Amino acid sequence: MVALIGLKHLPTRHGASFPVAGEAVALFRSGDRVWAVEDRNPYTACGIAGGRLSRVGHTPVVVSPMYHLVFDLRTGACLNAIDMPQQRLRTFAVELIGDVVHVGPARSPRATLAGVSIGA
């Protein structure tokens, strides 16, 4: 686990991007809950940290700044990709130690399109 930032310093309406083990990871915060996903939209290759934090029912989501794709922050799944192959954001383990956010290894594999690794 890598210590990144104090919880109170994370924004609550959008994400913040941090380098972790050579890749950009976006953190999103709602209250004392934090989610970590790769900071790269698998459909557009644009950053996701600038997206808007929201909810679909009880599901925490980020709405991407480009094309407004909606990603589940728990699983990384895209919830509104119509007529496109299903892609997902990689998710990362998060632990709050004291008031410091720590991020661990990826919990899901890198996105692929037609068997080719994206962004490897």
Q: Would the pTM of this model clear 0.75, i.e. be above it?
A: yes
Confidence of residue 117 (pLDDT cuts 50, 70, 90): very low
Work out the burial of residue 45: count CB atoms within 10 Å of its CB; fewer than 13 is exposed, 13-18 middle, 19 or more buried: exposed
pLDDT digits (tens, 9 = 90+) for 34-89: 999 999 999 999 999 999 999 999 999 999 998 899 999 999 999 998 877 788 99
Confidence of residue 120 (pLDDT cuts 50, 70, 90): very low
Domains and their CATH numbers in the chain = 2-109 (2.102.10.10)
